[in-house]
Structure 1
Amino acid sequence: MKHYTLPVSPSTVHWGYFSKAVEPALVLKSGDRATIETLTHHANDDYERMIEGDPAAEAIFHWTKEQKTISRRGSGPTEGPFKVGAGEGVGVHLLTGPIAIEGAEPGDILEVRVLDVRPRPSCSACYSGRCFGSNVAANWGFHYHDLIEEPKPREVVTIFEIDTAGDPYAKAVYNYIWTPQTDPDGVVHPIIDYPGVRVDHRLVKRRENILQNVRVPARLHFGTMGLAPAEADFVSSIPPSYTGGNIDDWRIGRGARMYYPVAVDGAFFSVGDPHAAQGDSELGGTAIETSLTGDFEFILHKKDDLGGTILEGLSHPMLETDEQWSVYGFTYANYLESLGDNAQTEIAQHSSVDRAMRDAFRKLRRFLMTAHKLSEDEAIALMSVAADFGVTQVVDANWGVHGSIRKNVFRCY
């Protein structure tokens, strides 16, 4: 086993997409470990707290009229004219990677163990050593067209500070309503529609003393983590799918084991969308988006060795913790295959919790019948009395429902 370090830099991150066509930032063997840095794509909501003084973050987010360090942000076109910018924001997350796994082939399963997670401290002279994150009640949030106070509609950015002394928690610092922002290329953004636009704080009105006497328990995790799909060279980071991606489950933190079906040679693992805290559903559109560093271990399970294990027949992401297994149902199990050439832009028109629930049910039924040798009637009975289904997220176009079964129901007394 070897242990590698993969820092964030303009050459080790890609913005807004998973890809089988990008040169790997690192190549590992099964059993290797890696310390991987990740940056939140929302850092420019408060440049002073989350970017200033951090050389890597400053380089990645650098955007002037003369130079844009990372031009492509999303899986959309890279040749203009553009509506909002290269990549068109069809995918928004800053992802570190890809990491290629030697010997990985389609049909294999890659196990990714999250060994540890920790916040990336601010490097700003004013806030050195403190940790911050941003929550955005955004235009893609479930709430957006169901507001009762004026102005309607509105997008609201809330900046949190994360306290890591003792039991970690987050406390709100201030918030502001998004006002139109003009990027260095002269494009006006009346709503949040392109990642990495720096907010000019002279144009927004901060509201202090918000969420007083409220402390949010921190649940450090990675919202977007997975492998490159086979269907296209550049795939939006927003909708999750059969190789993982933007699942947005707060349980994918320290101690989690994620299993992903390999779709392309080398697997091409990427990770990002780091979160300090999130609730089931991610209702407003985002979690507390912060920057994190994680320690990971990678185990490759070859397809010929899966029979008789919990991974037999696995064709979708699955989570294992010390207490339970969880499967993830989506509106479409593989939206890229189901919706064709325009899948990445059309998927949001099909979002459905009902379909995601149906998919989660079918996946958990298969798991109980295959991994635990239950009959269909036994599996359905057990799901009804012992499985927990919850709404993972209703903001990522391909909406998600998780189905979980506790391990202790299988113990013999």
Structure 2
Amino acid sequence: MGRVEYTLVPDDTTLHGFFDPDAAPVLTIDPGDTVTFRTLDCWWRTGAQPGLDPSLWERVPQHRTGYGHALIGPVAVRGARPGTTLVVNVDAVVPGAYGATVAGGRPTPFTEAYGLLDEYAVLDWTLDPAAMRGVNQFGHRVALRPFMGVLGMPPAEPGRHSTIPPRAHGGNLDLKDLVAGSTLYLPVPVDGALFSVGDGHAAQGDGEVGGTAVECPMERVTLTFDLRDDLPIGGPVVRSGGAWLTLGLGDTVDAAMYQALNAMFDLMGREHGVKRAEAAALASVAVDLRITQIVNRTVGAHAVLRDGVLDA
């Protein structure tokens, strides 16, 4: 049987604002199948219209219990079980026509550090997915590089879990390199995987320092799923743009950084057959270390090893 293609749109059966290992899947697929999603923005809207009111940060849809990011799913993958690795190939990410960015005006450690508890800015973006450009009401122009902020699976522990902190099995990673053409590898925490996606970003810098990117609905997010049982990983690993990326998560940037580097040393051992001390020495020459995001309670860092850097 060839690959099967499915479509999921946001409605009362597919939308949820939490991760839950006991949630019933809205779709069950086989490895190799493709799903195209249409997603809402982080404020649960189909289109981020100009004039975003910062009070939307506190506006919870009354019919949504456990409100968080507007996720679509969950999708079960036959054969997925703890000990296997879910492979998510990002085939396409097409944003909608509008986006918004908000900074300041809410009590968070980073807005306090910036002195912006009582001051805020709202940028309204008009997006051109064909030209891959966005312009805001002040005339600032940015290149679009759309990706999904949340791709992941629920923790194995019972109950509903917040969508805000990223976890080893994915979630709110906010890694700007997860663009079309990239591949995300995640350790499976529960039988069936129960994968969900949401939180579209049309553009973002490393760190997502203001707390939001160009938040937007996505017209089309096409993902192809596979499984591997020969790739033991403890956290997210990514192939993107001719490079390997290993992600680390922690309460501090230091903790996230060391986790990302330890995962990179493991990867270098698998890919290049080097011992751990040699991997650390080579990484000091060939690996770039970056901050993924600092705004999701659990912060993220990622290590980057570009193809050919050890074969120059």
In the superposition, the TM-score normalised over structure 2's length comes to 0.90
**Partner residue in 1 for 2:99:** 133
Q: How does 1:154-303 map to 2 (within 5 A)?
A: 154-166=119-131, 168-173=132-137, 210=138, 212=139, 214-292=140-218, 293-301=220-228, 303=229
Partners in 1 of 2:236 and 2:47 — Cα distance? 34
1:322 Cα deviation from its structure 2 partner: 4.3
The structure 2 residue matched to 1:329, chosen from 239, 248, 256, is 248
The 3 A distance-change label for structure 1 pair 142 and 160 is: farther
The structure 1 residue matched to 2:65, chosen from 61, 64, 72, is 72
Query: Which 10-residue stretch deviates more, 355-364 or 151-160?
Result: 151-160
**Partner residue in 1 for 2:234:** 315
Secondary structure of the residue that 1:288 maps to in structure 2? coil
**Partner residue in 2 for 1:37:** 38
**Partner residue in 2 for 1:112:** 88
Q: Could you tell me which amino acid in structure 2 is paired with residue 7 of structure 1? A: V
Is the CA contact (8 Å cut-off) linking 2:99 and 2:127 kept in structure 1?
A: yes
RMSD of the alignment, in Å? 2.3
1:234 Cα deviation from its structure 2 partner: 1.4
Partners in 2 of 1:381 and 1:71 — Cα distance? 50
Is the CA contact (8 Å cut-off) linking 1:317 and 1:328 kept in structure 2?
A: yes
Secondary structure of the residue that 1:18 maps to in structure 2? coil
Provide, for residues 308-345 of structure 1, a one-character-per-residue CA deviation record: whole Å limited to 9, x for no partner.
xxx2x3121110124101011111xxxxxxxxxxxxxx
Is the CA contact (8 Å cut-off) linking 1:40 and 1:274 kept in structure 2?
A: yes
The 3 A distance-change label for structure 1 pair 7 and 362 is: same
The 3 A distance-change label for structure 1 pair 46 and 291 is: closer
Q: Number of residues paired by the alignment?
A: 302
1:172 Cα deviation from its structure 2 partner: 1.0
Partners in 1 of 2:42 and 2:183 — Cα distance? 25
Is the CA contact (8 Å cut-off) linking 1:140 and 1:395 kept in structure 2?
A: no
**Partner residue in 1 for 2:8:** 6
Provide, for residues 363-384 of structure 1, a one-character-per-residue CA deviation record: whole Å limited to 9, x for no partner.
1112212342211222012111
The 3 A distance-change label for structure 1 pair 145 and 379 is: same
Secondary structure of the residue that 2:190 maps to in structure 1? coil
**Partner residue in 1 for 2:263:** 363
Partners in 2 of 1:314 and 1:31 — Cα distance? 20
Higher strand share: 2
Provide, for residues 133-186 of structure 1, a one-character-per-residue CA deviation record: whole Å limited to 9, x for no partner.
1111143666412446xx8532332211112232x111112xxxxxxxxxxxxx
Which structure 1 segments of 5+ residues have no match?
52-60, 75-91, 121-130, 174-209, 332-350
**Partner residue in 1 for 2:56:** none
Is the CA contact (8 Å cut-off) linking 1:145 and 1:153 kept in structure 2?
A: no
Partners in 1 of 2:166 and 2:4 — Cα distance? 30
Partners in 2 of 1:246 and 1:317 — Cα distance? 11
Partners in 2 of 1:73 and 1:160 — Cα distance? 29
Partners in 1 of 2:194 and 2:72 — Cα distance? 11
**Larger-gyration structure (1/2):** 1
| 2:95 matches 1:95 | no
Query: Percent identity among equivalent residues?
Result: 33
Secondary structure of the residue that 2:244 maps to in structure 1? strand
The 3 A distance-change label for structure 1 pair 134 and 45 is: farther
Is the CA contact (8 Å cut-off) linking 2:39 and 2:46 kept in structure 1?
A: no
Partners in 1 of 2:46 and 2:191 — Cα distance? 37
The structure 2 residue matched to 1:374, chosen from 243, 249, 274, is 274
**Partner residue in 2 for 1:57:** none
| 2:111 matches 1:144 | yes
Q: Could you tell me which amino acid in structure 2 is paired with residue 158 of structure 1? A: L
The 3 A distance-change label for structure 1 pair 250 and 109 is: same
| 2:118 matches 1:153 | yes
1:45 Cα deviation from its structure 2 partner: 11
Q: Could you tell me which amino acid in structure 2 is paired with residue 145 of structure 1? A: E
Which structure 2 segments of 5+ residues have no match?
53-58
